[in-house]
Structure 1
Amino acid sequence: MSTTLQTINDYYRERPSAFYPIDTNPIRCGEAHFNINMRKYCSFKIPFNRCDFYKISLIQGTGMFHYGNHAIYIDKPALFIPSPSVPYYWECDSLDQHGFFCLFNVEFLTEYVHFNQLHKTSVFKEWSKPLIFLEPEELSLVRSYFSQMYEMAKSNYPHKYEAIGSFVNLLLHHVLMHRVDDIKPEETKGSTRIYRLFDELLNRQFPLDSPAYPLQLKTPADYAEQLHVHVNHLNASVKAVTNKTTSTLIRSRMLLEAKSLLLYTAWDVSAIGYTLGFDQPSHFHHFFKKLTGLTPLQFRQQPKQDIL
């Protein structure tokens, strides 16, 4: 199984036409995207690499998930909430497969889901359990959420993505209700434990509420000092779990916060840059344009695009 990072556009190109979700137009960088379809074309072995998008599946049908280094047999209805950083594949043992799946990118989460709070939880994390088995009454509720998202996505309702975001929120909170038995830090191997502590510390820095309280932890060394580990040990642990560098994860979270502040506050660009720890506006300008292809002002001024 390749560990190459898979994009949403890659995902659509690699699937047979019968497997396509509702819309398959190419997604532009920085554009929010959501898609949903019925889970009925899955009677074959399907590999999934590390990806840059999120996915939630309602599985009705039996089969085996090979998730990271684990094999998990599915013999009752379940919600599957994989981490984007963990490769997996699904191998069904029955043609009787039903349910739904939806996929979306971080821009959709930022715009339509309460992601700043959810990002601090165990949802979509490498160390959390990816499956929740559903009792009959839960299955009815969860299936109703997917059905309403599916019908809403096909509609012409102008505010459908706000409504869909509400259902995604409900699904994720249903997941969190079951996370009382999540893997505890002391139960995990060393690298996973260090990564989890880093991830929790990183996400506690956000959201940023005021330029009077700028971001304090900005480099791997800052986090290593707080965690009382050597920076090389932190970097190795993060790389082992996510296949990404510590600096990349810090930059990604800073970029997510920058986009949120540009979209949802009236702060001027220089104030946003200062709050994110950039002493000079030009440094924030370079950081943002390098990662998005747009200047902060261009990102703020671009017209909203239809997602589907």
Structure 2
Amino acid sequence: MSRQLETLSDFYRDRSSIQFPFSTADIETGKSHFNVNIRKYCNFKTPYNRRDFYKITLILGVGEINYGGNTILIDRPALLIPCPAVPYSWVSMSDEQDGYYCLFNQEFFNEHYQFDIFKRSPLFKAWSEPVIFLDEQQLTLIKVYFEQMLALAQGEYPYKYEAVRNLLCLLMHTILVEHPADTLTPNDLPASSRLLKNFDELLHQQFPLDSPENPLTMKSAADFAKVLNVHVNHLNAVIKGATGHTTTNIIKSRIVEEAKTLLLNTQWDISEVGYCLGFDEPAHFNNFFKKLTQTTPLQYRQAGRNGHI
């Protein structure tokens, strides 16, 4: 039965008999998490759910993906790169299933500048293609990346978390080089997908912020609707229908993400960070940040400097 949203806790609970190389005890809110494993126990049907985490799967085996109501037959080596906000399920159609997968949460995706380019790319977007079929040369290269990630994760190298992150970046760069997911021009996309794509691009084009003298200009659903030349109610309906989240919450999440980056990586004072993000009063920024993170900007900065993030 579908939960509607599968969390990392759900994922690991349903696979309690499987050993993972990285600890699964660090998945509470606010903790960066990554894991990788072999794809060996996939002879079953998964529920049709959204996820609250990212996942890249190398599928070797026959099966069907029901992705956002559309069925995709997997009958040769493929990568599955779903948008977490789009519900999907998997049904095996052969006994032999192999491959690899890695999964990571938003915090892992947010924590390093290396991932900024992927946030602006078609990867993990609701409007992009979730399945990429591989030729023999591509399959060989991608298998190497997964094998190296798994070997590092199982080893004792003290900087293996950082090394695995670099391999994940290489994997995602390879995906973009070999199979750019935005090969469709805007006019080829359905109207709702085109609007979603344009909204996503507008949102991410605003970042990173480089100076308090150049504050954020689009901070609300109405701001984006005006630039996109659509009614705000229509924008909200399209975003909610495609992602399960409101336009406002998506904007807030991206602003909080940038706030965390600025707090940890600049010497700006708290009021400058808040002003750059569009808050004229420090108290408004403080209340906004605390509501979404359960901590104040100052406490978050201090925790980062003490190595607790």
Alignment of 1:118-267 (within 5 A): 118-177=118-177, 178-179=179-180, 182-267=183-268
Aligned-pair Cα RMSD in Å:
1.8
Aligned to 2:20: 21
Map 1:264-283 onto structure 2 (within 5 A). 264-283=265-284
Which aligned runs of 4 or more in structure 1 are off by greater than 6 angstroms?
none
Q: Once the two structures are aligned, what percentage of the paired residues are identical? A: 50
Give CA-to-partner distance per residue, 1:19-68, whole Å, 9 cap, x none. 45333215122111001111001111122521221000111111111111
User: Which residue in the other structure is 2:294 paired with?
Assistant: 293
Q: How far apart, in 1, do the equivalents of 2:51 and 2:93 lie?
A: 25
Please state how far the C-alpha of 1:109 moved relative to its aligned partner.
Answer: 1.4
- Retained in 1: the 8 A contact 2:26–2:33? no
**Residue in 2 aligned with 1:45?**
45
Shift in alpha-carbon separation, 1:160–1:305, aligned structure 2, 3 A: farther
Alignment partner, residue 58 of structure 2: 58
User: Residue 84 of structure 1: CA displacement?
Assistant: 0.5
Aligned pairs, number: 305
What letter is aligned with 2:236?
Answer: N
The 8 Å contact of residues 112 and 166 in structure 1, kept in 2 or not, is answered as no
Distance 2:182 2:301 in 1: 41
TM-score (norm 2): 0.93
Q: Indicate how the Cα distance of structure 1 residues 293 and 240 shifts in structure 2: closer, same or farther if over 3 A, else same.
A: same
TM-score, normalised on structure 1?
Answer: 0.94
Separation in 1, partners of 2:172, 2:112: 13
Q: Give the 3 Å change call, closer, same or farther, for CA 225–81 of structure 1 in structure 2.
A: same
Gaps of 5+ in 1: none
Asked if the contact 2:78–2:134 (Cα under 8 Å) also holds between the matched residues in 1, the reply is yes
Unaligned runs of 5+ in 2: none
Q: Give the C-alpha shift of residue 225 in structure 1.
A: 0.8
Tell me whether 51-60 or 172-181 shows the greater mean CA deviation. 172-181
Match of 1:304 in 2: 307
Q: CA–CA distance in 1 between the matches of 2:302 and 2:160? A: 23
Which position in structure 1 is the counterpart of 2:78? 78
Query: What one-letter code is carried by the residue in structure 2 that aligns with 1:304?
Result: G
Q: Which residue of 2 aligns with 1:109?
A: 109
| Distance in structure 1 (CA, Å) of the matches to 2:93 and 2:248 | 42
Report the secondary structure of 2:51's partner residue: coil
Q: Distance in 2 between matches of 1:213 and 1:110?
A: 22
